Amino acid sequence: MKEQLPKQVYTNEYREQAVLLVTRDGLSIAEAARRLSMSLKTLANWVKRVKDGRLPAASNGASAGQRVITEEQAEVSRLRREVAELRMERDILKKATAYFATESLRGVR
């Protein structure tokens, strides 16, 4: 049987930033959830609430089985997302550089 992890409680700011990745930045819910290392269903619920005009409800504290996400943990998630984006951009630039290098060599021959 799979071990259940404690349910996480996120700050309002974290929720807003996560939803903005989907609504403003145009990422899919699946991609945003992957980048933030969070549940796809949780993020989908937040996005749905925002689209329905109901902002995600704030949780004032953690109940049994929940853990509060600290500012440091939210910052780590944000930095992980940024690193993933930068790696993706780097990989695209590497491929573009290789492509244009081979194209320029073809023109010389």
Q: What confidence tens digit (pLDDT) does each residue in 78-103 have?
A: 888 889 899 999 999 999 999 998 88
Q: Residue 64 — pLDDT band, cuts 50, 70, 90?
A: very low
Task: Check residue 6 and give its pLDDT.
Answer: 60
User: Closest Cα partner for 47 from 26, 74, 77, 78?
Assistant: 26
Q: Annotate 59-75 with b (16+ C-beta within 10 A) or e (fewer).
A: beeeeeeeeebeeeebe
26-58 tens-digit pLDDT: 889 998 888 888 889 999 999 999 888 876 444
Q: Which tokens go with 6?
A: 């404690």
Strand partners, 9: 68
Q: H or E segment at 1?
A: none
Q: Which residue has the tokens 């993706």?
A: 88
Residue type, 45: N
DSSP for residue 48? H
Task: Check residue 92 and give its pLDDT.
Answer: 94
| pTM given for the model | 0.48
Q: H or E segment at 67?
A: strand 66-68
Domains of the chain are 7-81 (1.10.10)
